[in-house]
């Protein structure tokens, strides 16, 4: 799919964008994802402009997520950045470039057929086949994603599906991304999007995949095992409330053991912070792009699928090199 644009790939500086795209070129399961989406794509042979290949549009869609580009900005970037055209397989300057409308229609296709979660499942099936997800334990957490709070817009109101939430002494307006990660690999296996005022514990049991024996959460998940929707057979390892932990006398043997146990749980819970870091720092996703929960949740699920590939890219590349040498 990847081709040279006017021979520039062999002569220009190896920028960080190009290095990033070269790595993702090798680790994204393109064939499987294209096979997932193609049954829903418009058929060729109709009158007028022929639809672009699913793989081209999927690559463009992923670049939007990685580089935080709107539909118009993505179209302009395809005209301006050779590395982006190479990655999309648009190899020549005279080749037709998808318009922002084509890019928008492809995103709407993914949203209409609810393909974000199958994309995450397809990625995770690949990673599990390579032994990168054990599914013996799950760590859960949630993060706030800001939404525009201004009413200076066409409708004259804030997004009604976003709500305020208080964290500490600070108020936030937006939505929440609730995630569950594998306790061993730190890879995301389930994502839920809700309004910002939904308590973390309300969504937590829907995040479990049903195969884990242990689950971990911070002190905000106290009492999760007593909820009506609690999953049987899951041992919850929830953090002690901060005030109670500060009151421990570590010089006493029992309190010292309790503190050590809390430290061990905290090391496991730290796995859930890495996907949030990739989402917000690597991919720059700190504010919702669209109005409504459905569209923004679809984007977040896709971003976490891509973050899984980013986190294990070095291991996947090594596995790929090993297969090539053994061929």
Domain boundaries, the chain: 8-112, 134-288
Mean pLDDT of 14-25: 91
Give residue 157's pLDDT band: very low, low, confident or very high (50, 70, 90).
confident
**Quick one: pLDDT band at residue 221, thresholds 50, 70, 90?**
very high
pLDDT in tens, 226-272: 999 998 999 999 999 989 999 999 899 999 999 999 999 999 999 99
CB < 8 Å & 24+ apart, contacts of 78-82: 81/17, 82/5, 82/6, 82/8, 82/9, 82/12
Tell me which residue of 68, 94, 86, 90 sits closest to 14, measured CA to CA: 86
* pLDDT value at residue 1: 56
Q: Determine phi and psi for 225, rounding to 5 degrees.
A: -75, -10
Per-residue pLDDT tens over the stretch 51-84: 799 999 999 999 999 999 999 999 999 999 999 9
The structure's pTM equals: 0.88
Calculate Rg over the CA atoms of the chain.
Answer: 22
**Distance, CA of 173 to CA of 167 (rounded, Å):** 11
- What gap in Å lies between CA 65 and CA 302, rounded to an integer? 8
């Amino acid at each position: 799919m990847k081709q040279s644009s006017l021979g520039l790939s062999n002569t220009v500086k190896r920028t960080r964008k190009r290095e990033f795209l070269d790595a993702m070129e090798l680790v994204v399961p393109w064939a499987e994802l294209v096979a997932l989406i193609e049954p829903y794509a418009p058929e060729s042979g109709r009158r007028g402009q022929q639809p672009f290949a699913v793989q081209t549009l999927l690559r463009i869609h992923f670049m939007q997520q990685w580089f935080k580009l709107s539909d118009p900005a993505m179209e302009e970037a395809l005209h301006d950045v050779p590395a982006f055209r190479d990655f999309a397989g648009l190899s020549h300057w005279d080749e037709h470039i998808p318009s922002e409308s084509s890019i928008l229609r492809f995103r709407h296709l993914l949203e209409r057929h609810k393909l974000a979660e199958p994309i995450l499942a397809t990625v995770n099936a690949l990673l599990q086949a390579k032994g990168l997800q054990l599914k013996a334990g799950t760590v859960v957490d949630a993060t706030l994603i800001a939404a525009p709070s201004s009413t200076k817009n066409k409708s004259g109101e804030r997004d009604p599906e976003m709500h305020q939430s208080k964290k500490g002494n600070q108020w936030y307006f937006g939505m929440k991304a609730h995630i569950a990660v594998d306790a061993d690999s730190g890879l995301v296996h389930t994502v839920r999007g809700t309004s910002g005022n939904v308590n973390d514990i309300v969504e937590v049991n829907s995040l479990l995949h049903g195969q884990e024996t242990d689950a971990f959460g911070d002190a905000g998940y106290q009492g999760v095992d007593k909820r009506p929707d609690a999953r049987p057979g899951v041992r919850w390892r929830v953090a002690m409330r901060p005030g109670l932990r500060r009151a421990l006398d570590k010089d006493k043997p029992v309190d010292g053991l309790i503190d050590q146990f809390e430290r061990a749980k905290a090391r496991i819970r730290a796995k859930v912070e890495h996907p949030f870091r990739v989402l917000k720092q690597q991919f720059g996703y700190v504010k919702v792009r669209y109005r409504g929960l459905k569209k923004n949740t679809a984007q977040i699920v896709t971003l976490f699928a891509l973050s899984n590939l980013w986190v294990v890219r070095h291991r996947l590349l090594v596995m790929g090199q090993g297969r090539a040498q053994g061929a």
